[in-house]
C-alpha cells in the first residue's frame, strides 16, 4: 500500500456493525437480569418434554399395569415396569417406564383394590374328576411330647379328602402303600401333585408312579401355593386341630377320622356352590335332591358342628 493512502469504510457496513453491537449488549443484559433456574431444571424439563411428546398408551396398557399391581402389592414401580416390559416388549412391541407406572398407580388406587379382591375371590376353573390328586404331609404335636406325621390326599375337582391318616413312619414305601390303597378305593388319577420333599423326590416314589402310569407333578421350590388345594385343606384342619389337646397317636388317628367325615359330609364348601365334597364327588345337587334323613353332627368338644344330610 502506498504511503498516504486512507481506507474508507462504507456507511452501510458501519451501521450494521453498530446495530450488531447494540443487539449483543441487550442480549447480555437480558440474560443477566433473568433469575437463575432451580437445581435439576434441565433434568425435569427433559423428562416432562419426553413424557409430553410420547404418544398415548393403549387402554390395555393401563389395565395390565393395574392388574400387575394387584397381583404384586409389595412391588415397586420399577419392578412392575420391568415385569411388564419382559412380557410385552417382544410380543406386543410395548414398554412402559417407572414414571408412567407411578402415575397410573397414584391415579387408580381404588381400582387396584377392587381388582385385588376380584382375583382373591375368583373361583378356580373346573377340572375333570380324578384328573389331579394333591398329596402332602403335615405335623401335629401330641401331649406325649412327639410330633406326629399326618398324610392327606385331596381330589381337586370335588375337594374330597380321599385319605387322612396319621403315620408311624415317613418313608416312600409307606406313602406308596397308602396311595395304592386310595387308588383301589377311588380310582386312579392322571396327575399326582406334591412338593419337593425328599420322600416325594426319591427314586422309589418316582419309579412307582411311572409304573402306575401317573404323571408326577412337583411344585417349584418355595412355592407351596402351587399345591394350593391340599394346603388349604390342611389350613382348615389345623385351624381346628390347634385348639384341641391330643394325648396320643391313637387319639389323633380317631380325631382325623371324625374331621374327615365332617369335612366331606357335613361342611359345605364355598367353591362348590354350597355342596359338600361328598355331594360334589357323587354329583348330587342338594338344592334339587331330597335327603332321606338328617342328623346333627358334633365332635371335638363342639369345634366341629353341622347337619349331616343322608341321601
Q: Is the pLDDT of residue 282 over 80?
A: yes
Would you state the pLDDT for residue 2?
Answer: 45
What b/e readout covers 278-289, taking b as 16+ CB neighbours within 10 angstroms? bbbbeebeeeee
On whether the CB atoms of residues 304 and 297 are closer than 8 A, the answer is: yes
Rounded to 10 deg, the angle between the 203-212 and 172-186 helix axes is 20
- DSSP character for 264? I
The residue among 6 and 298 whose pLDDT is bigger is 298
Stated pTM of the model: 0.69
Which pLDDT belongs to residue 50?
A: 52
Q: What is the mean pLDDT of residues 145-154?
A: 94
As its CATH architecture, domain 132-310 has 2-Layer Sandwich (3.30)
pLDDT (mean) for 251-274: 93
Q: Which grid cell sits at 283?
A: 354329583
Amino acid at each position: 500500500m502506498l504511503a498516504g493512502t486512507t481506507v474508507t469504510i462504507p456507511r452501510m457496513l458501519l451501521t450494521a456493525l453498530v446495530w450488531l453491537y447494540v443487539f449483543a449488549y441487550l442480549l447480555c443484559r437480558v440474560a443477566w437480569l433473568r433469575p437463575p433456574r432451580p437445581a435439576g431444571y434441565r433434568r425435569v424439563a427433559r423428562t416432562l418434554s419426553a413424557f409430553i411428546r410420547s404418544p398415548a398408551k393403549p387402554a390395555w396398557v393401563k389395565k395390565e399395569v393395574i392388574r400387575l399391581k394387584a397381583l404384586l402389592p409389595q412391588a415397586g414401580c420399577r419392578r412392575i415396569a420391568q415385569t411388564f416390559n419382559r412380557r410385552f416388549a417382544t410380543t406386543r412391541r410395548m414398554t412402559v417406564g417407572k414414571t408412567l407406572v407411578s402415575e397410573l398407580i397414584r391415579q387408580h388406587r381404588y381400582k387396584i383394590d377392587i381388582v385385588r379382591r376380584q382375583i382373591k375371590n375368583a373361583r378356580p376353573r373346573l377340572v375333570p374328576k380324578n384328573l389331579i390328586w394333591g398329596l402332602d404331609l403335615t405335623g401335629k404335636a401330641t401331649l406325649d411330647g412327639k410330633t406326629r406325621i399326618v398324610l392327606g390326599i385331596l381330589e381337586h375337582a370335588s375337594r374330597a379328602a380321599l385319605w387322612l391318616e396319621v403315620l408311624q413312619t415317613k418313608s416312600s414305601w409307606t406313602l406308596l402303600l397308602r396311595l395304592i390303597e386310595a387308588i383301589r378305593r377311588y380310582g386312579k388319577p392322571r396327575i399326582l401333585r406334591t412338593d419337593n420333599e425328599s420322600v416325594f423326590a426319591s427314586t422309589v416314589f418316582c419309579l412307582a408312579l411311572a409304573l402306575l402310569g401317573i404323571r408326577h407333578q412337583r411344585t417349584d421350590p418355595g412355592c407351596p401355593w402351587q399345591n394350593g388345594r391340599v394346603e388349604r385343606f390342611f389350613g382348615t384342619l389345623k385351624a381346628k386341630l390347634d385348639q384341641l389337646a391330643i394325648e396320643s397317636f391313637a387319639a389323633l388317628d380317631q380325631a382325623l377320622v371324625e374331621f374327615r367325615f365332617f369335612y366331606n359330609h357335613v361342611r359345605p364348601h364355598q367353591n362348590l356352590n354350597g355342596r359338600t365334597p361328598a355331594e360334589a364327588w357323587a354329583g348330587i345337587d342338594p338344592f334339587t335332591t331330597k335327603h332321606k334323613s338328617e342328623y346333627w353332627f358334633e365332635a371335638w368338644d363342639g369345634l366341629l358342628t353341622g347337619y349331616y344330610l343322608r341321601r
